[in-house]
Structure 1
Amino acid sequence: MSIFDRYAPFIQDFIYRSNWESLRAIQAAAGDAIFNTDENVLLTASTASGKTEAAFFPILTLFSEDMPRSVGAIYIGPLKALINDQFSRLNDLCEEADIPVWHWHGDVAQSHKNKMLKNPSGILQITPESLEAMLLRKHALIPKLFGDLRFIVIDEIHSLMRGDRGGQTICLIERICKMAGANPRRIGLSATIGDPTAAGEFLAYGTGRSTVIPKIENKGVKWRLSMEHFYISQQNHSNEKDTADALPVLDEKTDIAPEHADAGMGYIFEHTRGKKCLIFVNSREECEAVTTTLRSYCEAKHEPDRFLIHHGNLSAAYRETAEEAMKDEDIFMTTCTTATLELGIDIGRLERAFQIDAPYTVSSFLQRMGRTGRRDLPPEMWFVIREELPEPRSMLPETIPWKLLQGIALIQVYIEDRWVEPPKLDRLPFSLLYHQTMSTLASCGELTPAELASRVLTLKYFRRITKDDYKILLRHLIETDHIQRTENDGLIVGLAGERVVNSFKFYAVFQENEEYTVRWGSQELGTIVMPPPAGEKIAIAGHVWIVEEVDHKRRLVYCDQIKGKVPAYFGDCPGDINTKILLRMKEVLREDKNYPYLMKNAVTRLAQARLTARNSGVTESPLICLGGNMWCLLPWLGTYAFLALERFLKLKCSDRLGLKGMDSSRPFYIQFTMKVSPEEFFYVLTKEAEKEFSPMELVYDSEVPVFEKYDEFLPAELVKKGFAFGILGISEMIERILSWKSFI
């Protein structure tokens, strides 16, 4: 029997109505794995390949033959927007078979949630944070809700494998399954898995099953790819006439005078006109700034506003307005967004995506480009690399176009090697350990220390945590009143712990800033951190507002709309760049290769950079003299190995080398002065790297390097241990230092 013949009749009818001539390779492979094995399944295929349908066609077929007596499948999505999108798609598919589809996150009406609680059935679509809240607040209902749970589908699983959020998801699944007495199969979906074997092991944590990873031959897809470079200041001599002509003629009455026009923004403005596009940026601040600028260009050109905005700090109303407009085939708008529209969402017939500067990862680049290329169009992305014009007296490393090199490297490592960042699963997740300990106590009530340890430490994600470390944590939490001992020697949540657990922010394990809700009349615009006093300006929702009142007690900001430009601030957004990208950036400088996607300005800028590199020797030696006793070290190491090297220099080598004034531009270069020769520098580094030392020696004496959300509640020794053994890339750093022996 073919996979198509095995599908339920209503699935076959759906396929006929969709005018599909045959099943895609991913759908045939998924059907075979789900129908014919009892294992977990990891489906990896390109974006827009039909992974969601591939997973749910066989699941829904099995449900139609034997309907579960509770929620039969949980779909875990990393973003609300993704869940909203999949909810409408699955609803259409399931309606005919009378299989309910429920969605559950912070923006969903309580009435919809109550219906699911009364009649647990079908498919539940939920975020990890809402699953945490459900486990905490609806603890007694878990057996009823999930007693016959058969499948857990984790969408965009790669996005959950680089930090505590993925660990939280796996812990929650294990806890729910133990409470409900179920052992569902897990199905992981992703277009950008760097190490499928490691991802398969992660997916299977605690199930006792292996993971089937079907080999799927992807058809070759042609990309439409371009990368152009602009100087932000108007002294843009390399921007030739064809680019200059794209700049809007600005009205003198607007805030933006022509001499201050941003060439890169003008380029985007002209090439989005009459089209449906996405503009990806790397932070919420930049998202606001770009949207405000582009809207001011519309005003200067007397054109209707055609720019929307979408990021995590906006209210649900603003986000959903942008999502609906992008799905409407008759509306030609452009949305400026962060990663919130990066994952999985089908937003219709997009003509192209823009990326301002380079994203941090290959995975992110592929996901963002994958938003286009649907409805039989090729994927299309235009990189817009912007750089401040270097000052005449700038030091050498400041004259290298790092963002341009990073963008090229991201593209090349994928084109040449099909390389994507592997998951990082070797951290010591003490912050998450605190979170799951408090969550378990809050949901279960009083437990003995042994019972608590058996519930938490047995979760597979905590396999690297020792019993001794857990004892240290529990003693500290008792001392700080996060946990309290009872008369019966049991443990319950203490007064300090209650304040943490009872906050809605407890559900999330990713770092958040203290946020204020911004209101304009009856509308909720979104949230900001660190609101300015009344009378000052803020930027949110792509407009500028003047603050009329700040209610610190209720965390509310009341404002009124005005014209102008002002920087937005939502909190820091650090990037994590892999060492392979840095090494490829070095090769970009060293080789003479032409890249067909580079446009005129980018070709010129790269040629300048290569000339600078050849004249200075930055690709031949990692240590370059900037003049006198000022030096620059270019280690070509990823973010966490670079961080380890900074500390190694300061704590292990500084005195012998006479290092002073260390100034890092992470992860590209370190500037400093020193009193020794280059040969002595490399000799000292390699000798120190050959000695055995504990990673703890790279933590400063008085430092408690809080890195994750709940580190502040941990004992200092565990914070230091987690940072030293789980964050710093020490082995990679040592390998690089030892490779410098030839310079002695």
Structure 2
Amino acid sequence: MLHPVVLHHIVNTLQWPGLRPLQEAAVAPLLAGSDALLLAPTAGGKTEAATFPILSRMAAENWQGTSVLYLCPLKALLNNLTPRLATYTGWLGRQAAVWHGDVPESRRARIRRERPDVLLTTPESLEAMLVSVRTDHRGFFSGVRAVIVDEVHAFAGDDRGWHLLAVLERLRRLVAAERAPAAPATPPAEAAGAAELQVIGLSATVGNPGELLRWLQGSGAGRRPAQVVAPDLPAVRPPQALSPAPPAGEIELDYVGSVTNAAKVLAALHRGEKRLVFCDSKKTVEELGQALRGLGVTTFLSHASLSAEERRRSEEAFTEARDCVIVATSTLELGIDVGDLDRVVQINAPTTVASFLQRLGRTGRRAGTTRNCLFLTLTESALVQAAGLLSLWGSGWVEPVVAPPEPRHIVAQQLLAYCLQENRIGDRTWVDEWNGLAPFDRSAEPIVRHLVRAGYLDSDGGMLFVGPEAERRFGHRHFSELTAVFTAAPEFTVLHGRDEIGRTDPVLLTDPVEGPRLLLLAGRSWRVTHIDWKRRRCFVEPAAGGGRARWLTYGDGGMSFELARAMRDALLGADPPVPLTRRAADRLETVRDNHLNVVHQGGTMIVRTEDLTDVRWWTWAGERANRTLVASLGDLADPLQTPNAAYLRLRTDVTSAVWKASTADLASRLCLPQVTDEALAGLKFNTALPPRLAEATLATRLADLPAATAVLREPVRFTALGA
């Protein structure tokens, strides 16, 4: 069914004996023009599964101009994929090109002139092209027929997903408007509406593939044919249907107690092999990298606060080396090719099963090898979390990917961006530009009125255009801040001579210190020689040791209800279906003994200390549910607390009788959590919303009403420590 030229090169150039199951299953629906979600483990051939049929359509139907967009969440992933896609398009005498923030202007100018058949980019760069005065966006994008979204789960779980959907709806309108004059037979309503773009998502395992595909279709959901293609993956089961199942792969759980001990284990194990070590904080990456180098291990680092050049050098060197370690955050979790890995090591535990599956999938790619992961936990809490996570994974459960609710701030951003794109839009007709996709529909009228009142938009003669407040807040550097959905933490650029090493938290430059000010970055210590406060730069020179690492992070909602409950099960004696080292098994038993008073299979526990100075409700419900419960309990809860995933603090004089009377109907009157100014500052474009709407948006995202309701329906046991 594939185009003869594509088929010829698969057989003769790639010398493949056949297609993988996913690639074979994807051919028919994609050639037929269906929207699709292609699911397979990492390195499952998803890129080829999407591109071979789409290139076949391109050749058979003689698509012209830039007809395919390939969207990725990371610039590094785009850089990694471009040579492959350039090869495949070259088979047909076509071209592929990459466009993102690091691509120089000279190359962008060439892309504008030559208009490659396949453009690899990010949603943010796509929007920047739509609003740029240098790009003829109508001419450039008029021929787009298909959009491939790689690692779609990485978009869908946060606001970048809403931004992606909104930009694709604007693209549909643009393409439809440009096609209409050339197709006079097209009914006027259809010509003025959305174009029939084929949308294809690529993803690893998710818990709700059907819902994810409908979400990705945007305004096309229910109107266009769609199919989930996942022949390599078993059905995902809901948590209540879980039953033990022997997992595939070599997984082991260990407890080491410190970064120093983790480095010693890594230095001693699997010598001569290529190892990828995942950490869930940049600080741990830096500390572990320095410790490994101190033990003579060839070590490379990768995280988002290292310069692009530093990351590129590390990833290229790691790809070519053998006996080495690369220590990374989730930047290497996605499909970036770092060569043929032997081992994956996880420091502590990720917060989702889906993330673990991504990391596990980096190994076992060679014939005769097995997927593997060694967990090295540094704390008792991380040990229990890893045990709970592995139990969920071993039972076949994966989190559903759910878009954040009520993205009103993205609606405001889109209205401003669309005004930039078109110069001015009708104050009544703007609602049509997103093809009826909620929440970019008529429900956004209060946001439009606020934007006009606050000066973000000006209104004149029935038209809306960018106002002075938008220019003041977002107008510098050609409105580049308007196309970035997230608020970046303030960081200083660190320079050694003219070479950029990366970025660091300004707190490290202002904290009082005795002696030289030392930073830890790129796995090396540096002495600060000069700070340029105005330009947010600091200059450094190498130091022997003693550097510190720190970065400010915004919360992501915290641990889920399911993982918190799996941790409770681990404390109650449930072992994960993987081998535990002797020290991990011994420490887990110790932790269980120390938590006998705070876990119970039959419900939740309210535990008071003997001196009555501390009362905790051990819900094991996750952070968002516990925030919801604190807000709903009113003066029964300690107001000066930040709830964690396991418990929340109550007023010290709460008795069983008071509790029963106060919570009898609480499930029917749950409240959203309180929003602090600091938390609101992390919601980009919050100033473009009415204050109450901004607070309501964030409060909704901090809450978990279903989990809080489930907890309130469970029996509660009162006890005292030592009882």
TM over 0.5: yes
1:566 partnered with 2:550 = no
Find the aligned partners of 1:314 and 1:712 in 2 and give their Cα distance. Answer: 30
Give the match for residue 287 of structure 2: 289
* Cα distance change on mapping 1:168 and 1:459 into 2, 3 Å: farther
1:706-725 CA-partner distances (Å, limit 9, x unpaired): 55222233211101221344
Three-state SS of the structure 2 residue aligned to 1:205 is: helix
Please, which of 301, 318, 321 is the counterpart of residue 309 of structure 1? 301
Instruction: Kindly indicate whether the alpha-carbon contact (under 8 Å) linking 1:230 and 1:263 is maintained by their aligned counterparts in 2.
Output: yes
Cα offset for 1:572? 1.1
Give the match for residue 496 of structure 1: 469
Corresponding letter in the other structure for 2:662? V
1:645 partnered with 2:640 = no
Please, which of 602, 610, 627 is the counterpart of residue 627 of structure 1? 610
Correspondences of 1:340-359 after superposition (within 5 Å): 340-359=331-350
Find the aligned partners of 1:594 and 1:345 in 2 and give their Cα distance. Answer: 30
Three-state SS of the structure 1 residue aligned to 2:350 is: coil
* Cα distance change on mapping 1:81 and 1:700 into 2, 3 Å: closer
Three-state SS of the structure 2 residue aligned to 1:309 is: strand
1:174 partnered with 2:150 = no
* Cα distance change on mapping 1:172 and 1:106 into 2, 3 Å: same
Instruction: Kindly indicate whether the alpha-carbon contact (under 8 Å) linking 2:568 and 2:599 is maintained by their aligned counterparts in 1.
Output: no
1:412-432 CA-partner distances (Å, limit 9, x unpaired): 21221x221112236000111
Cα offset for 1:123? 0.8
Corresponding letter in the other structure for 2:531? V
Corresponding letter in the other structure for 1:213? V
Three-state SS of the structure 1 residue aligned to 2:494 is: strand
Three-state SS of the structure 2 residue aligned to 1:27 is: helix
Corresponding letter in the other structure for 2:658? E
Corresponding letter in the other structure for 2:687? E
Correspondences of 1:8-27 after superposition (within 5 Å): 8-27=4-23
1:566-605 CA-partner distances (Å, limit 9, x unpaired): 3322321534322111111111121354643211111111
Please, which of 380, 383, 388 is the counterpart of residue 404 of structure 1? 383
Give the match for residue 83 of structure 1: 78
Instruction: Kindly indicate whether the alpha-carbon contact (under 8 Å) linking 1:642 and 1:666 is maintained by their aligned counterparts in 2.
Output: yes
Please, which of 265, 269, 276 is the counterpart of residue 267 of structure 2? 269
Corresponding letter in the other structure for 2:35? N
1:178-211 CA-partner distances (Å, limit 9, x unpaired): 1122432001111122201110111111233142
Give the match for residue 528 of structure 2: 547
Correspondences of 1:371-390 after superposition (within 5 Å): 371-376=362-367, 377-387=369-379
* Cα distance change on mapping 1:281 and 1:682 into 2, 3 Å: farther
Find the aligned partners of 2:324 and 2:230 in 1 and give their Cα distance. Answer: 38
Three-state SS of the structure 1 residue aligned to 2:413 is: helix
Give the match for residue 662 of structure 2: 684
Find the aligned partners of 1:25 and 1:569 in 2 and give their Cα distance. Answer: 45
More deviation, 532-541/701-710 = 701-710
Find the aligned partners of 2:265 and 2:23 in 1 and give their Cα distance. Answer: 40
Please, which of 548, 571, 584 is the counterpart of residue 602 of structure 1? 584
TM-score for the superposition, normalised by structure 2:
0.88
- Matched length: 676
1:254-301 CA-partner distances (Å, limit 9, x unpaired): xxxxxxx82222112322643211111112222222212222332xxx
Corresponding letter in the other structure for 1:357? N
Give the match for residue 278 of structure 2: 280
Find the aligned partners of 1:477 and 1:153 in 2 and give their Cα distance. Answer: 33
* Cα distance change on mapping 1:736 and 1:615 into 2, 3 Å: closer
1:15-41 CA-partner distances (Å, limit 9, x unpaired): 444343322110111002112x33201
Find the aligned partners of 1:471 and 1:105 in 2 and give their Cα distance. Answer: 33
Corresponding letter in the other structure for 1:183? E
1:473 partnered with 2:447 = yes
Three-state SS of the structure 1 residue aligned to 2:539 is: strand
* Cα distance change on mapping 1:573 and 1:287 into 2, 3 Å: farther
Corresponding letter in the other structure for 1:315? S
Find the aligned partners of 2:677 and 2:377 in 1 and give their Cα distance. Answer: 40
Cα offset for 1:644? 0.9
More deviation, 176-185/343-352 = 176-185
Give the match for residue 63 of structure 2: 68
* Cα distance change on mapping 1:718 and 1:615 into 2, 3 Å: closer
* Cα distance change on mapping 1:712 and 1:403 into 2, 3 Å: farther
Find the aligned partners of 2:133 and 2:218 in 1 and give their Cα distance. Answer: 24
Give the match for residue 311 of structure 2: 319
Instruction: Kindly indicate whether the alpha-carbon contact (under 8 Å) linking 1:438 and 1:501 is maintained by their aligned counterparts in 2.
Output: no
Find the aligned partners of 1:426 and 1:342 in 2 and give their Cα distance. Answer: 22
* Cα distance change on mapping 1:28 and 1:526 into 2, 3 Å: same
1:515 partnered with 2:491 = yes
1:207-261 CA-partner distances (Å, limit 9, x unpaired): 33142113414499831111111223xxxxxxxxxxxxxxxxxxxxxxxxxxxx8
Give the match for residue 528 of structure 1: 504
Instruction: Kindly indicate whether the alpha-carbon contact (under 8 Å) linking 1:26 and 1:43 is maintained by their aligned counterparts in 2.
Output: yes
Instruction: Kindly indicate whether the alpha-carbon contact (under 8 Å) linking 1:78 and 1:159 is maintained by their aligned counterparts in 2.
Output: yes
Instruction: Kindly indicate whether the alpha-carbon contact (under 8 Å) linking 2:572 and 2:599 is maintained by their aligned counterparts in 1.
Output: no
Cα offset for 1:492? 2.1
Instruction: Kindly indicate whether the alpha-carbon contact (under 8 Å) linking 2:247 and 2:577 is maintained by their aligned counterparts in 1.
Output: no
Corresponding letter in the other structure for 2:204? A
Give the match for residue 42 of structure 1: 37
* Cα distance change on mapping 1:213 and 1:709 into 2, 3 Å: same
Give the match for residue 242 of structure 1: none
1:595-630 CA-partner distances (Å, limit 9, x unpaired): 432111111111112223336555554222232322
Find the aligned partners of 1:598 and 1:109 in 2 and give their Cα distance. Answer: 50
Cα offset for 1:682? 4.2
Find the aligned partners of 2:133 and 2:629 in 1 and give their Cα distance. Answer: 47
Give the match for residue 230 of structure 1: 256
Provide structure 2 residue ranges, at least 5 long, that are not aligned to the other structure: 177-194, 235-245, 511-515
Aligned-CA RMSD value: 2.7
Please, which of 708, 712, 719 is the counterpart of residue 737 of structure 1? 712
Find the aligned partners of 1:358 and 1:116 in 2 and give their Cα distance. Answer: 43
Please, which of 410, 413, 426 is the counterpart of residue 432 of structure 1? 410
* Cα distance change on mapping 1:311 and 1:384 into 2, 3 Å: same
Cα offset for 1:67? 3.1
Cα offset for 1:139? 7.8
More deviation, 50-59/666-675 = 666-675
1:361 partnered with 2:346 = no
Instruction: Kindly indicate whether the alpha-carbon contact (under 8 Å) linking 1:226 and 1:597 is maintained by their aligned counterparts in 2.
Output: yes
Corresponding letter in the other structure for 2:703? L
* Cα distance change on mapping 1:346 and 1:506 into 2, 3 Å: same
* Cα distance change on mapping 1:50 and 1:138 into 2, 3 Å: farther
Question: Percent identity between the aligned chains?
Answer: 26
Provide structure 1 residue ranges, at least 5 long, that are not aligned to the other structure: 233-260, 299-304, 388-400
Corresponding letter in the other structure for 1:368? R
Find the aligned partners of 1:632 and 1:741 in 2 and give their Cα distance. Answer: 12
Give the match for residue 433 of structure 2: 455
Three-state SS of the structure 1 residue aligned to 2:101 is: coil
1:342-366 CA-partner distances (Å, limit 9, x unpaired): 1012222101111111111111111
1:624-668 CA-partner distances (Å, limit 9, x unpaired): 22323222212121332222112223x2xx2xx4x5475445112
Give the match for residue 214 of structure 1: 229
Corresponding letter in the other structure for 2:466? V
More deviation, 473-482/25-34 = 473-482
* Cα distance change on mapping 1:110 and 1:536 into 2, 3 Å: same
Cα offset for 1:138? 4.8
1:112-143 CA-partner distances (Å, limit 9, x unpaired): 22222112131111112211211121586222
Give the match for residue 568 of structure 2: 586
Corresponding letter in the other structure for 1:211? A
Find the aligned partners of 1:29 and 1:721 in 2 and give their Cα distance. Answer: 44
Instruction: Kindly indicate whether the alpha-carbon contact (under 8 Å) linking 1:142 and 1:180 is maintained by their aligned counterparts in 2.
Output: no
Instruction: Kindly indicate whether the alpha-carbon contact (under 8 Å) linking 1:618 and 1:634 is maintained by their aligned counterparts in 2.
Output: no
Find the aligned partners of 1:704 and 1:558 in 2 and give their Cα distance. Answer: 31
Three-state SS of the structure 1 residue aligned to 2:314 is: helix
